[in-house]
Amino acid sequence: MQQAGDYITEEKRQMLLVELADLKGPKRKEILKSLEYSKSLGDLSENAEYHQAREDQGKLEARIVKIEQILQSSQTVKGGGGDIIEIGSKVIVQKKGTKEEKKYVIVGSEEADMKAGKISNRSPFGIALFGKKKGDNVSFKTPNGLVNYNIINVS
């Protein structure tokens, strides 16, 4: 598995497929109804409802295109489970000089969510961890300087 590739987990793929179906179905119909109603109000040049509906339609179509692009260009991975850190691996690390352990999952950039403990494979931390194994030490630069971690466990 290449570190710099575009990856999504099977869970994320399913979430995107559900969102896409919703956007192409009910959401599109809702915006079309809103457009029809706002057109019936008259003069389109000064019709705020019409302009808002058109803006909403543009955002919806842009999101549909983005989801389709993600689904087409990303490789779906089951990930994790091995001794080497890759997409889908669950990692427990300890910052040097502290006793606090933190748990992270390495994911593709589309799924990254630091609050949820999901680290992008393209982030400085993800790059430092990728390909390493339990017991290894990693370091990477942050705006506050160099940070060092010890890998406690990989699953």
- Please report the pLDDT score of residue 46 as a whole number: 78
- Please report the pLDDT score of residue 109 as a whole number: 87
DSSP E strands in 30-109: the ranges are 75-77, 90-95, 101-107
**DSSP-derived 3-state class of residue 52:** helix
- Please report the pLDDT score of residue 63 as a whole number: 97
Q: Where in the chain is the domain with CATH 3.10.50.30?
A: 79-154
The C-alpha atoms of residue 70 and residue 19 are separated, in whole angstroms, by 13
Note the CATH number of domain 79-154.
Answer: 3.10.50.30
The C-alpha atoms of residue 100 and residue 102 are separated, in whole angstroms, by 7
- Please report the pLDDT score of residue 38 as a whole number: 86
**DSSP-derived 3-state class of residue 142:** strand
Which pTM does this prediction carry? 0.74
Nearest C-alpha neighbor of 102 from the set 113, 94, 111: 94
Q: Where in the chain is the domain with CATH 1.10.287.180?
A: 7-76
- Please report the pLDDT score of residue 88 as a whole number: 87
The C-alpha atoms of residue 128 and residue 108 are separated, in whole angstroms, by 15
CATH topology of domain 7-76: Helix Hairpins (1.10.287)
Q: Could you list the pLDDT tens digit for every one of the 155 residues in the chain? A: 555 568 888 888 999 999 999 999 999 999 999 999 888 887 777 788 888 999 999 999 999 999 999 999 988 887 666 789 988 899 999 999 898 999 999 998 889 999 999 999 899 999 999 999 999 999 999 898 999 999 999 98
**DSSP-derived 3-state class of residue 3:** coil
DSSP E strands in the chain: the ranges are 7-9, 75-77, 90-95, 101-107, 118-120, 137-142, 145-154
The C-alpha atoms of residue 107 and residue 109 are separated, in whole angstroms, by 6
